[in-house]
Every structure is written in structure tokens, then in C-alpha cells.
Amino acid sequence: MVRWIALVGVILAGTGLGGCDVMPTTSALNVAALAESITPTLSFTALAANGQLTYSASIDTTSINLQNALRALGLPVSVTQDAAGNVRIASSTPDGSRFTLVVSAVGGPTAEPSKETHVSIEWDKPADASRGFQVLIQLEAEKKTSLVK
């Protein structure tokens, strides 16, 4: 019996699974994958089609994810919070069409701390919406293509 325990200990030590001196490590890639699994990436295609997206995450988590997504596309980001508790993320397309992503809690501001949020988009000039979505969807596609290379 003692021999089996020693043998198992040697095998575990050799694989890095034995003892307390082996600490798990987390790389930036793993953290990014975890964040993406918690809050899906922003999809301008889905936003254009549905007018609203729903995420299973808090307002703060969703807001941070959206800000990072916009910055990754090279877009400016300015964040405010309105009186109702919604987070408003202002940005603009490279050709100057300004828009705001509005992140709000499902159930409104009186709901308990929500784990589900809605995201909608408001264009400063409604006439910019069609062309603006085309530009954003193109940026999104270019970003995905550059990640695959």
C-alpha cells in the first residue's frame, strides 16, 4: 500500500499536480477569454438588426466590455451616467457620425442590482444611422480578419 502511495506521489509531482508549491497561473489570454464568456462581444450587425442587445451581466461589466470593444476598433470613448442610472458611452465613426451606446438594467432603475442589461444605440443625427452602421460593421469585420491572420 505504501508503495502505491509513493508511486502516485511521484506521478503527480512529475505532472505538476502534486504539492502546494505549484500555483495555477492566469495569462492575459485566459482572462480575456473569461471576460468574453461572461459578456459577449459587441455585435453591430445584431444591434442594427434588433435595435437592442441583451447581456447577462451587470451594467458595470457590460459597460467596461463595450468601452474596450470600441477602443479595440480605434474609436473614441466618453462615458457618463444619466439620472436614471444608465451608462451612456459616446463615440463616433471614423467619418464623424456620432452615436451613444446606452446600457440600462433590465427592469429599470428601481430593479435590484441587475445581472442582465440592455444595450441600445442612439445616433446624434438619425439620418446617420444607416451609413454609421455600415461603417461600424465594416470596422468589426476588419478587426476579426486581422485577428485571424
Cross-strand bridge partners of residue 79: 89
Give the structural domain span for 46: 31-148
**Confidence class of residue 8 from pLDDT cuts 50, 70 and 90?**
very low
Query: Does a structural domain hold residue 7?
Result: no
Q: Please check whether residue 8 lies inside any domain of the structure.
A: no
**Quick check: 122 and 99 in contact, CB under 8 A?**
yes
| This model's pTM is above 0.75 | no
For residue 55, being part of any structural domain is answered with yes
User: In this predicted model, what pLDDT tens digit does every residue of 85-142 receive, in sequence order?
Assistant: 899 999 999 999 999 999 998 876 666 666 788 999 999 999 999 899 999 988 888 8
**CA 40-42-44 angle, 5° bins:** 140
- Whichever domain contains 49, its CATH number is 3.30.160
Looking at the domain assignment, is residue 114 inside a domain? yes
Residue 5 lies in a domain: no
